[in-house]
Amino acid sequence: MIKWPFLPKDAGLDIVKTEGAYLYTRQGQKILDAASGAIVNNIGYGREEVAEAIKEAALNNTYVLPPFLTPEREELLDELRNHWLPPHLTRVHLSSGGSEANESAVKLAIQYQASRGKPEKNLILTRTLSYHGTTLNMSGISGHAARKRGLESYVPAPITVETPYPLRCPLGSFHPEAKDYYLNNLKEVIERYGANHIAALLMEPINGSSGGAIYPPEGYWEEAQKILLDNDILLIADEVMTGFGRTGVDFSCNFYNLKPDILVAGKGMAGGYAAISGTYSTDEIAESILKAGFEVMFHTFAALPQSCAASSSVLKILRRENLCERVNPLGDQLKQKLISELGQHPLVAEIRGKGLLIGVEIVKEKEGLVSFDEKEKITNKIVGKGLENGVFFYPGGTGEYRDIICLGPAFIINDDDIDLMVSSLKKSLDHIKAKYL
Ligand SMILES: Cc1ncc(COP(=O)(O)O)c(C=O)c1O
Protein backbone atom coordinates (compact mmCIF):
# COMPACT_ATOMS: atom_id res chain seq x y z
CA MET A 1 0.00 0.00 0.00
CA ILE A 2 1.25 3.47 -0.91
CA LYS A 3 2.13 5.58 2.12
CA TRP A 4 2.02 9.23 1.20
CA PRO A 5 3.34 10.92 4.30
CA PHE A 6 2.68 14.57 3.82
CA LEU A 7 -1.09 14.70 4.11
CA PRO A 8 -2.89 15.71 7.30
CA LYS A 9 -4.06 12.41 8.70
CA ASP A 10 -7.70 13.39 9.01
CA ALA A 11 -7.91 14.79 5.52
CA GLY A 12 -6.22 12.30 3.23
CA LEU A 13 -7.55 12.52 -0.31
CA ASP A 14 -6.68 10.89 -3.59
CA ILE A 15 -7.14 13.57 -6.26
CA VAL A 16 -7.23 12.52 -9.89
CA LYS A 17 -8.18 15.85 -11.46
CA THR A 18 -8.40 19.54 -10.76
CA GLU A 19 -10.57 21.84 -12.87
CA GLY A 20 -11.84 25.38 -12.33
CA ALA A 21 -12.30 25.70 -8.58
CA TYR A 22 -12.91 21.97 -8.06
CA LEU A 23 -11.03 18.83 -7.07
CA TYR A 24 -12.11 15.36 -8.22
CA THR A 25 -11.28 12.28 -6.16
CA ARG A 26 -10.54 8.77 -7.39
CA GLN A 27 -13.77 7.70 -5.68
CA GLY A 28 -15.75 10.13 -7.87
CA GLN A 29 -16.38 12.91 -5.36
CA LYS A 30 -16.39 16.52 -6.60
CA ILE A 31 -14.99 18.91 -3.99
CA LEU A 32 -15.09 22.69 -4.09
CA ASP A 33 -11.60 23.93 -3.24
CA ALA A 34 -12.39 26.83 -0.91
CA ALA A 35 -8.68 27.13 -0.18
CA SER A 36 -7.29 26.97 -3.73
CA GLY A 37 -4.86 24.35 -2.43
CA ALA A 38 -2.77 26.21 0.11
CA ILE A 39 -4.26 29.58 -0.93
CA VAL A 40 -2.33 29.34 -4.18
CA ASN A 41 -4.59 29.19 -7.18
CA ASN A 42 -6.25 32.35 -8.44
CA ILE A 43 -7.22 31.89 -12.12
CA GLY A 44 -8.78 28.42 -11.68
CA TYR A 45 -7.23 25.04 -12.41
CA GLY A 46 -6.65 23.47 -15.81
CA ARG A 47 -6.06 26.46 -18.07
CA GLU A 48 -4.85 25.33 -21.48
CA GLU A 49 -3.14 28.68 -22.17
CA VAL A 50 -0.82 28.31 -19.17
CA ALA A 51 -0.04 24.68 -20.00
CA GLU A 52 0.87 25.72 -23.57
CA ALA A 53 3.17 28.48 -22.28
CA ILE A 54 4.95 25.96 -20.03
CA LYS A 55 5.30 23.48 -22.89
CA GLU A 56 6.70 26.09 -25.23
CA ALA A 57 9.25 27.25 -22.66
CA ALA A 58 10.32 23.69 -21.87
CA LEU A 59 10.95 23.04 -25.56
CA ASN A 60 12.63 26.38 -26.20
CA ASN A 61 14.84 26.69 -23.11
CA THR A 62 14.74 23.50 -21.08
CA TYR A 63 17.27 24.54 -18.46
CA VAL A 64 19.38 27.68 -18.43
CA LEU A 65 21.60 28.74 -15.54
CA PRO A 66 19.57 31.16 -13.37
CA PRO A 67 21.82 34.24 -13.78
CA PHE A 68 21.59 34.11 -17.60
CA LEU A 69 18.82 35.97 -19.36
CA THR A 70 16.23 34.16 -21.52
CA PRO A 71 13.15 35.51 -23.32
CA GLU A 72 10.93 33.80 -20.72
CA ARG A 73 12.76 35.56 -17.89
CA GLU A 74 12.71 38.88 -19.70
CA GLU A 75 8.96 38.61 -20.31
CA LEU A 76 8.32 37.92 -16.63
CA LEU A 77 10.49 40.86 -15.56
CA ASP A 78 8.53 43.14 -17.89
CA GLU A 79 5.21 41.81 -16.62
CA LEU A 80 6.22 42.25 -12.98
CA ARG A 81 7.77 45.69 -13.39
CA ASN A 82 5.14 47.15 -15.71
CA HIS A 83 2.04 45.85 -14.00
CA TRP A 84 2.55 44.57 -10.47
CA LEU A 85 5.55 45.64 -8.43
CA PRO A 86 5.68 48.90 -6.50
CA PRO A 87 7.91 51.18 -8.62
CA HIS A 88 10.68 51.41 -5.99
CA LEU A 89 11.17 47.62 -6.01
CA THR A 90 13.16 47.26 -9.20
CA ARG A 91 15.34 44.26 -8.35
CA VAL A 92 14.00 40.74 -8.80
CA HIS A 93 15.49 37.60 -7.29
CA LEU A 94 13.56 34.44 -8.13
CA SER A 95 13.34 31.15 -6.29
CA SER A 96 10.96 28.22 -6.13
CA GLY A 97 8.84 28.78 -3.03
CA GLY A 98 7.95 31.16 -0.24
CA SER A 99 10.42 29.72 2.28
CA GLU A 100 13.34 30.14 -0.12
CA ALA A 101 12.22 33.63 -1.05
CA ASN A 102 12.03 34.65 2.62
CA GLU A 103 15.47 33.17 3.23
CA SER A 104 16.75 35.30 0.36
CA ALA A 105 15.06 38.37 1.80
CA VAL A 106 16.71 37.87 5.19
CA LYS A 107 20.07 37.23 3.54
CA LEU A 108 19.73 40.41 1.48
CA ALA A 109 18.86 42.42 4.59
CA ILE A 110 21.87 41.13 6.53
CA GLN A 111 24.24 41.43 3.56
CA TYR A 112 22.98 44.96 2.93
CA GLN A 113 23.71 46.01 6.50
CA ALA A 114 27.16 44.42 6.30
CA SER A 115 27.80 46.12 2.96
CA ARG A 116 27.13 49.46 4.65
CA GLY A 117 29.78 48.66 7.22
CA LYS A 118 27.25 47.53 9.84
CA PRO A 119 27.81 43.78 10.26
CA GLU A 120 26.61 43.96 13.88
CA LYS A 121 23.20 45.04 12.62
CA ASN A 122 22.19 41.44 12.02
CA LEU A 123 19.10 40.57 14.08
CA ILE A 124 15.81 39.88 12.35
CA LEU A 125 12.64 40.76 14.22
CA THR A 126 9.62 38.60 13.52
CA ARG A 127 6.18 38.44 15.08
CA THR A 128 4.62 36.26 17.79
CA LEU A 129 1.99 34.93 15.40
CA SER A 130 3.39 34.42 11.92
CA TYR A 131 4.51 31.93 9.32
CA HIS A 132 7.41 32.47 6.96
CA GLY A 133 8.30 28.98 5.83
CA THR A 134 9.61 25.57 6.56
CA THR A 135 13.41 25.79 6.21
CA LEU A 136 15.23 25.54 9.51
CA ASN A 137 15.76 29.28 9.80
CA MET A 138 12.22 30.17 8.79
CA SER A 139 10.82 27.49 11.13
CA GLY A 140 12.84 29.04 13.92
CA ILE A 141 11.95 32.65 13.37
CA SER A 142 8.28 32.10 12.50
CA GLY A 143 5.72 32.47 15.26
CA HIS A 144 4.21 29.08 14.59
CA ALA A 145 4.61 26.73 17.55
CA ALA A 146 3.11 23.64 15.91
CA ARG A 147 5.49 23.67 12.95
CA LYS A 148 8.64 23.75 15.05
CA ARG A 149 7.79 21.08 17.61
CA GLY A 150 10.74 18.78 18.10
CA LEU A 151 13.04 21.33 16.44
CA GLU A 152 13.14 23.92 19.22
CA SER A 153 16.54 22.79 20.46
CA TYR A 154 18.09 23.35 17.05
CA VAL A 155 16.40 26.21 15.24
CA PRO A 156 17.18 29.85 16.05
CA ALA A 157 14.99 31.38 18.71
CA PRO A 158 12.92 34.21 17.31
CA ILE A 159 13.13 37.79 18.51
CA THR A 160 9.53 38.77 18.36
CA VAL A 161 7.25 41.74 18.49
CA GLU A 162 3.61 41.10 19.27
CA THR A 163 1.36 40.52 16.28
CA PRO A 164 -1.55 42.94 16.58
CA TYR A 165 -4.56 40.68 17.14
CA PRO A 166 -7.55 42.94 17.75
CA LEU A 167 -9.85 40.10 18.87
CA ARG A 168 -7.39 38.87 21.48
CA CYS A 169 -5.68 42.10 22.47
CA PRO A 170 -4.48 41.78 26.10
CA LEU A 171 -6.23 45.08 26.88
CA GLY A 172 -9.54 43.55 25.74
CA SER A 173 -11.17 42.64 22.44
CA PHE A 174 -11.03 45.50 19.94
CA HIS A 175 -9.79 47.81 22.66
CA PRO A 176 -9.57 51.47 21.58
CA GLU A 177 -5.95 51.65 22.75
CA ALA A 178 -4.88 48.46 21.00
CA LYS A 179 -2.89 50.30 18.34
CA ASP A 180 -0.75 52.12 20.92
CA TYR A 181 -0.34 48.98 22.98
CA TYR A 182 1.17 47.12 20.03
CA LEU A 183 3.25 50.09 18.87
CA ASN A 184 4.70 50.42 22.35
CA ASN A 185 5.64 46.77 22.25
CA LEU A 186 7.49 47.34 18.96
CA LYS A 187 9.34 50.31 20.48
CA GLU A 188 10.22 48.30 23.59
CA VAL A 189 11.65 45.40 21.61
CA ILE A 190 13.77 47.75 19.50
CA GLU A 191 15.03 49.43 22.65
CA ARG A 192 15.77 46.10 24.35
CA TYR A 193 17.95 44.77 21.53
CA GLY A 194 19.21 48.12 20.27
CA ALA A 195 18.45 49.53 16.83
CA ASN A 196 22.15 49.25 15.99
CA HIS A 197 21.78 45.45 16.24
CA ILE A 198 18.58 45.03 14.23
CA ALA A 199 18.69 44.53 10.47
CA ALA A 200 15.01 44.20 9.64
CA LEU A 201 11.48 43.35 10.66
CA LEU A 202 10.03 40.43 8.71
CA MET A 203 6.25 40.59 8.78
CA GLU A 204 3.02 39.69 7.00
CA PRO A 205 0.99 42.91 6.56
CA ILE A 206 -2.10 40.72 6.86
CA ASN A 207 -1.50 37.31 8.40
CA GLY A 208 -1.85 34.32 6.15
CA SER A 209 -3.14 31.07 7.58
CA SER A 210 -1.10 31.36 10.80
CA GLY A 211 -3.59 33.88 12.12
CA GLY A 212 -6.33 33.47 9.55
CA ALA A 213 -6.39 36.90 7.88
CA ILE A 214 -5.72 38.93 11.03
CA TYR A 215 -5.00 42.56 10.32
CA PRO A 216 -3.95 45.25 12.79
CA PRO A 217 -5.89 48.22 14.18
CA GLU A 218 -6.16 51.21 11.89
CA GLY A 219 -3.00 53.28 11.72
CA TYR A 220 -0.73 50.59 13.20
CA TRP A 221 1.33 49.79 10.12
CA GLU A 222 1.73 53.41 9.09
CA GLU A 223 3.14 54.29 12.51
CA ALA A 224 5.17 51.11 12.77
CA GLN A 225 6.82 51.94 9.45
CA LYS A 226 7.80 55.34 10.79
CA ILE A 227 9.32 53.77 13.92
CA LEU A 228 11.37 51.40 11.75
CA LEU A 229 12.54 54.22 9.50
CA ASP A 230 13.54 56.34 12.49
CA ASN A 231 15.58 53.40 13.75
CA ASP A 232 17.17 52.55 10.39
CA ILE A 233 15.54 49.09 10.39
CA LEU A 234 14.49 47.53 7.08
CA LEU A 235 10.93 46.41 6.46
CA ILE A 236 10.50 43.02 4.78
CA ALA A 237 6.91 42.33 3.76
CA ASP A 238 6.09 38.64 3.40
CA GLU A 239 3.25 38.63 0.90
CA VAL A 240 3.68 35.00 -0.08
CA MET A 241 0.01 34.35 0.63
CA THR A 242 -1.45 37.82 0.23
CA GLY A 243 0.34 38.92 -2.95
CA PHE A 244 -0.96 39.32 -6.50
CA GLY A 245 -4.50 40.39 -5.76
CA ARG A 246 -5.54 37.90 -3.07
CA THR A 247 -6.72 40.57 -0.62
CA GLY A 248 -8.30 42.81 -3.26
CA VAL A 249 -5.22 44.96 -3.92
CA ASP A 250 -2.02 43.96 -5.79
CA PHE A 251 -0.13 43.63 -2.50
CA SER A 252 -1.63 44.05 0.96
CA CYS A 253 1.07 46.64 1.75
CA ASN A 254 -1.07 48.95 -0.39
CA PHE A 255 -3.78 49.05 2.28
CA TYR A 256 -1.37 50.78 4.61
CA ASN A 257 0.78 52.80 2.20
CA LEU A 258 3.69 50.64 3.29
CA LYS A 259 6.86 51.00 1.29
CA PRO A 260 8.77 47.82 2.17
CA ASP A 261 12.48 47.68 1.46
CA ILE A 262 12.04 44.06 0.43
CA LEU A 263 8.84 42.35 -0.65
CA VAL A 264 8.41 38.60 -0.90
CA ALA A 265 5.75 36.83 -2.94
CA GLY A 266 5.03 33.32 -4.15
CA LYS A 267 1.86 31.25 -4.35
CA GLY A 268 -0.38 33.40 -6.60
CA MET A 269 2.60 34.47 -8.70
CA ALA A 270 1.99 31.41 -10.86
CA GLY A 271 -1.29 30.22 -9.32
CA GLY A 272 0.11 26.76 -8.64
CA TYR A 273 0.99 26.06 -12.30
CA ALA A 274 4.70 26.19 -11.46
CA ALA A 275 6.97 26.51 -8.44
CA ILE A 276 8.14 30.10 -8.44
CA SER A 277 8.54 32.92 -5.94
CA GLY A 278 10.15 36.33 -5.90
CA THR A 279 12.19 38.51 -3.54
CA TYR A 280 11.87 42.07 -4.73
CA SER A 281 14.17 44.79 -3.47
CA THR A 282 15.47 48.26 -4.19
CA ASP A 283 18.35 49.44 -6.35
CA GLU A 284 20.05 50.70 -3.23
CA ILE A 285 20.07 47.31 -1.52
CA ALA A 286 21.20 45.42 -4.62
CA GLU A 287 23.90 47.93 -5.59
CA SER A 288 25.32 48.10 -2.08
CA ILE A 289 25.61 44.30 -1.84
CA LEU A 290 27.15 44.02 -5.29
CA LYS A 291 29.58 46.84 -4.58
CA ALA A 292 30.74 45.07 -1.41
CA GLY A 293 31.47 42.01 -3.55
CA PHE A 294 29.10 39.72 -1.63
CA GLU A 295 27.71 36.76 -3.47
CA VAL A 296 23.96 36.28 -3.91
CA MET A 297 23.85 32.61 -4.76
CA PHE A 298 21.02 31.11 -6.77
CA HIS A 299 19.09 27.88 -6.24
CA THR A 300 19.65 25.47 -9.14
CA PHE A 301 15.98 25.54 -10.11
CA ALA A 302 15.44 29.26 -9.62
CA ALA A 303 13.82 31.09 -12.52
CA LEU A 304 13.30 27.97 -14.63
CA PRO A 305 12.10 29.19 -18.03
CA GLN A 306 9.02 26.98 -17.66
CA SER A 307 8.17 28.57 -14.29
CA CYS A 308 8.74 32.08 -15.61
CA ALA A 309 6.49 31.36 -18.58
CA ALA A 310 3.81 29.96 -16.27
CA SER A 311 4.00 33.02 -14.07
CA SER A 312 3.82 35.49 -16.99
CA SER A 313 0.87 33.61 -18.40
CA VAL A 314 -1.03 33.53 -15.08
CA LEU A 315 -0.36 37.22 -14.38
CA LYS A 316 -1.48 38.20 -17.88
CA ILE A 317 -4.70 36.17 -17.49
CA LEU A 318 -5.37 37.92 -14.16
CA ARG A 319 -5.12 41.26 -15.97
CA ARG A 320 -6.85 40.35 -19.21
CA GLU A 321 -9.86 38.84 -17.45
CA ASN A 322 -9.93 41.53 -14.76
CA LEU A 323 -9.91 38.76 -12.17
CA CYS A 324 -8.43 40.89 -9.38
CA GLU A 325 -11.37 43.26 -9.77
CA ARG A 326 -13.64 40.34 -8.84
CA VAL A 327 -11.86 39.76 -5.54
CA ASN A 328 -13.44 42.53 -3.46
CA PRO A 329 -17.06 42.01 -4.54
CA LEU A 330 -16.74 38.22 -4.23
CA GLY A 331 -14.91 38.51 -0.91
CA ASP A 332 -17.55 40.90 0.46
CA GLN A 333 -20.33 38.62 -0.66
CA LEU A 334 -18.68 35.58 0.92
CA LYS A 335 -17.89 37.39 4.15
CA GLN A 336 -21.37 38.89 4.44
CA LYS A 337 -23.00 35.52 3.88
CA LEU A 338 -20.72 33.91 6.45
CA ILE A 339 -21.58 36.66 8.91
CA SER A 340 -25.33 36.42 8.32
CA GLU A 341 -25.40 32.59 8.52
CA LEU A 342 -22.68 31.95 11.08
CA GLY A 343 -21.97 35.22 12.87
CA GLN A 344 -24.25 34.26 15.78
CA HIS A 345 -23.18 30.61 15.88
CA PRO A 346 -22.06 29.71 19.44
CA LEU A 347 -18.68 28.48 18.17
CA VAL A 348 -17.78 31.48 16.02
CA ALA A 349 -15.65 34.16 17.68
CA GLU A 350 -14.87 36.22 14.60
CA ILE A 351 -15.21 36.25 10.83
CA ARG A 352 -12.53 38.48 9.38
CA GLY A 353 -10.38 39.12 6.36
CA LYS A 354 -9.89 41.16 3.24
CA GLY A 355 -10.78 40.24 -0.32
CA LEU A 356 -10.66 36.49 -0.82
CA LEU A 357 -8.60 35.74 2.27
CA ILE A 358 -11.06 35.08 5.07
CA GLY A 359 -10.60 33.55 8.51
CA VAL A 360 -13.28 32.10 10.77
CA GLU A 361 -12.08 31.73 14.35
CA ILE A 362 -13.71 28.94 16.34
CA VAL A 363 -13.94 28.88 20.15
CA LYS A 364 -15.48 26.59 22.73
CA GLU A 365 -16.86 29.54 24.70
CA LYS A 366 -17.33 32.98 23.27
CA GLU A 367 -17.23 34.53 26.72
CA GLY A 368 -13.53 34.86 27.45
CA LEU A 369 -12.65 33.43 24.01
CA VAL A 370 -11.93 29.97 25.42
CA SER A 371 -10.40 27.64 22.83
CA PHE A 372 -11.06 23.94 22.55
CA ASP A 373 -8.33 21.76 23.96
CA GLU A 374 -5.61 21.26 21.36
CA LYS A 375 -5.97 17.49 21.69
CA GLU A 376 -9.54 17.71 20.36
CA LYS A 377 -8.10 18.76 16.97
CA ILE A 378 -11.26 20.69 16.21
CA THR A 379 -9.82 22.35 13.09
CA ASN A 380 -9.01 18.97 11.53
CA LYS A 381 -12.46 17.74 12.42
CA ILE A 382 -14.09 20.74 10.76
CA VAL A 383 -11.92 20.33 7.68
CA GLY A 384 -12.76 16.60 7.60
CA LYS A 385 -16.51 17.27 7.89
CA GLY A 386 -16.21 19.96 5.21
CA LEU A 387 -14.77 17.38 2.85
CA GLU A 388 -17.67 15.03 3.57
CA ASN A 389 -19.92 17.92 2.61
CA GLY A 390 -18.06 18.68 -0.60
CA VAL A 391 -15.77 21.56 0.35
CA PHE A 392 -12.08 21.80 1.26
CA PHE A 393 -11.28 24.48 3.87
CA TYR A 394 -7.72 25.34 4.86
CA PRO A 395 -6.67 24.62 8.45
CA GLY A 396 -5.20 27.74 10.02
CA GLY A 397 -3.68 28.65 13.38
CA THR A 398 -0.36 27.87 14.98
CA GLY A 399 -1.20 25.25 17.58
CA GLU A 400 -0.90 27.84 20.30
CA TYR A 401 -3.57 29.95 18.55
CA ARG A 402 -5.92 27.44 17.06
CA ASP A 403 -9.12 26.48 15.40
CA ILE A 404 -9.05 28.98 12.62
CA ILE A 405 -10.65 27.98 9.35
CA CYS A 406 -9.31 29.79 6.28
CA LEU A 407 -11.10 30.42 3.05
CA GLY A 408 -9.16 31.55 0.01
CA PRO A 409 -10.81 30.30 -3.17
CA ALA A 410 -9.82 31.05 -6.75
CA PHE A 411 -11.00 34.40 -8.11
CA ILE A 412 -13.38 32.63 -10.53
CA ILE A 413 -15.94 31.32 -8.03
CA ASN A 414 -19.65 32.08 -8.51
CA ASP A 415 -22.75 32.56 -6.34
CA ASP A 416 -23.42 28.82 -6.10
CA ASP A 417 -19.87 28.20 -4.92
CA ILE A 418 -20.29 30.83 -2.21
CA ASP A 419 -23.56 29.23 -1.07
CA LEU A 420 -21.89 25.82 -0.98
CA MET A 421 -18.95 27.06 1.10
CA VAL A 422 -21.23 28.67 3.67
CA SER A 423 -23.69 25.77 3.93
CA SER A 424 -20.87 23.23 4.20
CA LEU A 425 -19.11 25.19 6.94
CA LYS A 426 -22.40 25.56 8.79
CA LYS A 427 -22.95 21.80 8.69
CA SER A 428 -19.42 21.22 10.01
CA LEU A 429 -19.89 23.69 12.87
CA ASP A 430 -23.31 22.28 13.77
CA HIS A 431 -21.72 18.84 13.90
CA ILE A 432 -18.98 20.06 16.25
CA LYS A 433 -21.53 21.86 18.40
CA ALA A 434 -23.69 18.72 18.71
CA LYS A 435 -20.74 16.46 19.47
CA TYR A 436 -18.29 18.54 21.49
CA LEU A 437 -20.19 21.30 23.28
C1 LIG B 1 3.03 34.08 4.57
C2 LIG B 1 3.79 32.88 4.12
N3 LIG B 1 5.12 32.94 4.04
C4 LIG B 1 5.85 31.89 3.64
C5 LIG B 1 5.26 30.70 3.32
C6 LIG B 1 6.12 29.54 2.89
O7 LIG B 1 5.97 29.32 1.52
P8 LIG B 1 6.33 27.90 0.88
O9 LIG B 1 5.42 26.91 1.50
O10 LIG B 1 6.05 28.13 -0.59
O11 LIG B 1 7.77 27.64 1.13
C12 LIG B 1 3.88 30.58 3.38
C13 LIG B 1 3.22 29.31 3.07
O14 LIG B 1 2.11 29.05 3.42
C15 LIG B 1 3.13 31.70 3.79
O16 LIG B 1 1.79 31.65 3.89
pLDDT in tens, 103-149: 999 999 999 999 999 999 999 999 999 999 999 999 999 999 999 99
6 pLDDT tier (thresholds 50, 70, 90)? low
- Please give the residue that has the higher pLDDT: either 399 or 61: 61
261-272: pLDDT as tens digits: 999 999 999 999
Average pLDDT over residues 382-406: 95
Reply yes or no on whether the pLDDT at 8 is more than 70.
Answer: no
Q: Is 208 in the pocket of ligand 1 (CB under 6 A)?
A: yes
Q: For the residues 238-244, what does the mean pLDDT come to? A: 98
Whether ligand 1 lies within 6 angstroms of the CB of 246 is answered as no
Q: Which atom of ligand 1 is nearest to the CA of 102?
A: 4
Cα 267 from Cα 149, distance rounded (Å):
25
Nearest Cα to Cα of residue 139 among 156, 124, 126: 156
| Percent of the chain at pLDDT exceeding 70 | 97
Q: What mean pLDDT value characterizes the chain?
A: 96
pLDDT score, position 3: 61
User: What is the spatial distance between Cα 294 and Cα 152, in angstroms, rounded to a whole number?
Assistant: 31
Does 347 sit in the ligand 1 pocket, CB within 6 Å? no
20 phi and psi angles, rounded to 5 deg: 60, -120
Q: Which of 241, 247, 279 to mutate to test the pocket of ligand 1 (most atoms within 8 A of CB)?
A: 241
Ligand 1 near 207 CB (within 6 A):
no
Q: Is the CB of 214 under 6 A from ligand 1?
A: no
Segment 52-59 shows an average pLDDT of 98
> How far, in Å, from the CA of 302 to the mean position of ligand 1?
16
Gap from CA of 161 to ligand 1 centroid (Å):
20
Q: Is the CB of 266 under 6 A from ligand 1?
A: yes
Ligand 1 atom nearest to CA at 38 = 14
Question: How far away, in angstroms, is 138 Cα from ligand 1 center?
Answer: 10
Please, what is the Cα angle at 226 between 222 and 232, to 5 degrees?
Answer: 140
| Minimal-distance CA residue to ligand 1 atom 4 | 132
List the one residue out of 106, 102, 112, 50 whose CA is nearest residue 286.
Answer: 112
Query: Residue 387 Cα, ligand 1 centroid: separation in angstroms?
Result: 23
* Averaged pLDDT for residues 234-244: 98
What pLDDT, on a 0 to 100 scale, did the predictor assign at position 437?
A: 82
Q: Is the CB of 252 under 6 A from ligand 1?
A: no
Q: Report which protein residue has its CA nearest ligand 1's atom 8.
A: 98
Ligand 1 pocket residue status of 164, Cβ below 6 Å: no
Mutation test residue for ligand 1: of 6, 99, 136, the one with most atoms within 8 Å of CB: 99
Q: Is 240 in the pocket of ligand 1 (CB under 6 A)?
A: yes
Average pLDDT over residues 273-302: 97
Please write down the HEC assignment for all residues of the chain.
CCCCCCCCHHHCCCEEEEEECEEEECCCCEEEECCHHHHCCCCCECCHHHHHHHHHHHHHCCCCCCCCCCHHHHHHHHHHHHHCCCCCCCEEEEECCHHHHHHHHHHHHHHHHHHCCCCCCCEEEEECCCCCCCCHHHHHHCCCHHHHCCCCCCCCCCEEECCCCHHHCCCCCCCCCHHHHHHHHHHHHHHHHCHHHEEEEEECCCCCCCCCCCCCCCCHHHHHHHHHHHCCCEEEEECCCCCCCCCCCCCHHHHHCCCCCEEEECHHHCCCCCCCEEEEECHHHHHHHHHHCCCCCCCCCCCCHHHHHHHHHHHHHHHHCCCHHHHHHHHHHHHHHHHHHHCCCCCEEEEEEECCEEEEEECCECCCCECCCHHHCHHHHHHHHHHHCCEECEEECCCCCCCEEEECCCCCCCHHHHHHHHHHHHHHHHHHHHHHC
Does the pLDDT of residue 9 top 60, yes or no? no
Q: What is the pLDDT of residue 191?
A: 98
**Is 102 close to ligand 1, i.e. is its CB under 6 Å away?**
yes
Which whole number is the average pLDDT over 191-200? 98
Kindly tell me the burial class for residue 348, based on how many C-beta atoms sit within 10 Å of its own C-beta (0-12, 13-18, 19 or more): buried
Q: Is 250 in the pocket of ligand 1 (CB under 6 A)?
A: no
Q: Which domains does the chain have, with CATH numbers?
A: 9-46+328-436 (3.90.1150.10), 48-320 (3.40.640.10)
Q: What is the mean pLDDT of residues 43-68?
A: 98
